[in-house]
Amino acid sequence: MSKTIESTVEKLPQDLAKAGASGGQRVFVTVLDEEEFAKLEALRADLQVGLDDLDAGRVGPLDIDAFIAELHDRHAAKSPVS
């Protein structure tokens, strides 16, 4: 089982203890500056909009082949031609 804990450097030991982390568990820490944290929050908000749309039935069927083709086209347009 995994848990996500948002904390600060100063509070991390206490927050890990509150979450029930034991000495035998592994902990992965990512340190984000304010700009990176803002990007993460914006991504979370965008994901929530998509999830809310799914829950409300505002999303139609996805043509995965067309979606992948579109991503390939976008990538090719951004890549320099050698």
pLDDT tens by residue, 26-53: 888 899 999 999 999 999 999 999 999 9
Cα angle vertex 31, ends 52, 4, to 5°?
A: 45
Q: Are 61 and 50 in contact (CB under 8 A)?
A: no
pTM: 0.60
Confidence at residue 55, expressed as pLDDT on a 0 to 100 scale: 95
Confidence at residue 1, expressed as pLDDT on a 0 to 100 scale: 67
Confidence at residue 82, expressed as pLDDT on a 0 to 100 scale: 62
Ordered by start, the domain boundaries in the chain are 1-31, 33-82
| Block residue for tokens 């820490």 | 29
